[in-house]
Amino acid sequence: MNTIEHLSQTRNITREELELLLTTDDRELVEQLRRTAREVADAVYGKRIFIRGLIEISSHCKNDCLYCGLRRSNRSAVRYRLTEEQIYDCCATGYRLGFRTFVMQGGEDGWFTDERMCRIVSTVRRRYPDCAITLSLGERSRESYQALYDAGANRYLLRHETASATHYAQLHPAEMSWQHRMDCLQALKEIGYQVGCGFMVGSPYQTFDTLYEDLQFIRRFEPQMVGIGPFIAAHDTPFADQPNGKVTYTLRLLSIIRLLQPHVLLPATTALGTLHPQGREQGILHGANVVMPNLSPRDHRKDYAIYDNKICTGEEAAECRACTEARFARIGYETVVDRGDYKPNTP
């Protein structure tokens, strides 16, 4: 049994296998990894891609993550927040374009109190009972997560960023804690959200050891979704001069995660598309099955600048929707109008 068969059958990986699969230039092995991951994705979800409409609701943030262009210390970041009406308009446009999942993402902006956010969620819930509502608003209290869930949110994306507490401390200021991030993820799961965790590939100080810990964390936590994308340096941040993450590592990790967790929802991220013109298509061909086209108002898109040179900042929602459909049709995949729910593991 070779490494890929071993991975696929045991749904586990050793530290040594991980390093081997990321660094090898054995073309056959690399292609076997990709092909096997894609076969597994096909078996569970078919040649279908789920789309989620991403609404970037605020570029204000009280946190100071060293990698992020929206960190509070970045005085050159342009700050905006959408009004409630703008958010509803994005949903209306998105619904017309066939989106059945809305993802509201933002910096940790105190303006979006539980009261305001619950009103927004319950309004969207009432207007679009057939849609999934996903939130990605960072760390909040358990009570807040519960209130938002009760208001109608179904899913929450909170990347764990790294499963190593030491590495976490190298990416975040002292006032942020790895344990708190983990507690948030646990609370979200207990409340009943479908949860997405994830990490950047090639973040500063990342090693094969921390990546191995990330994969073992994913196996233990069993999230419904895993978001990974390459780290991309953002100007005016402490990591401005750090090298970007590798596209090859990201693609191979997508395949590995698909083999470890066959049923997981796995997006081909915008960051991957930013570092390579065919990054998202390659992501799909390596086992991803989700994409998150931008539904944010065009006027604000360039200001949701978590990293440099982000793609799709000049387009309208309808253009992104059409582009997505065409891109994946070219590689033989159908973009579906569907909530695209997690398919639980059946024995």
- The residues binding ligand SAH (CB under 6 A) are 67-68, 105, 107-108, 136, 138, 158-159, 161, 200, 229, 231-232, 234, 271, 306-307
**Least distance between ligand SAH and beta carbon 171 (Å):** 9
Query: Which DSSP category does 126 fall into?
Result: H
Q: Which residues pair with 155 in a beta bridge?
A: 134, 194
Based on CB atoms, which residue is closest to ligand SAH, 17 or 236?
236
Complex with ligand SAH: residue 230 or 262, whichever CB lies closer:
230
CB 339 within 8 A of CB 51: no
Least distance between ligand SAH and beta carbon 304 (Å):
9
Please, what is the minimum distance in Å from the beta carbon of residue 60 to ligand SAH?
10
Query: Which lies closer to ligand SAH via its Cβ, residue 214 or residue 325?
Result: 214
The distance of closest approach from Cβ of residue 153 to ligand SAH in the complex, given in angstroms and rounded to an integer, is: 14
Reading the block at residue 50, the tokens are: 């789920």
Q: What is the CA radius of gyration of the chain?
A: 19
Q: How far is the CB of 259 from ligand SAH (least distance, A)?
A: 22
- Looking at the Cβ atoms of 138 and 152, the one nearer to ligand SAH is 138
- Using alpha carbons, select from 191, 162, 194, 193 the residue that is nearest to residue 179: 162
Measured from the CB atom, the residue of 227 and 262 that comes closer to ligand SAH is 227
d(CA 335, CA 186): 32
Element containing residue 191 per DSSP (H, E): helix 178-191
d(CA 294, CA 317): 6
CB of 337 to ligand SAH, least distance (A): 25
Of 161 and 214, which CB lies nearer to ligand SAH in the complex structure? 161
**d(C-alpha 67, C-alpha 119), whole Å:** 32
Distances (CA, A) of 30 to 20, 27, 35, 312: 10, 5, 9, 30
Check if the beta carbon of residue 226 is closer than 8 Å to that of residue 219: no
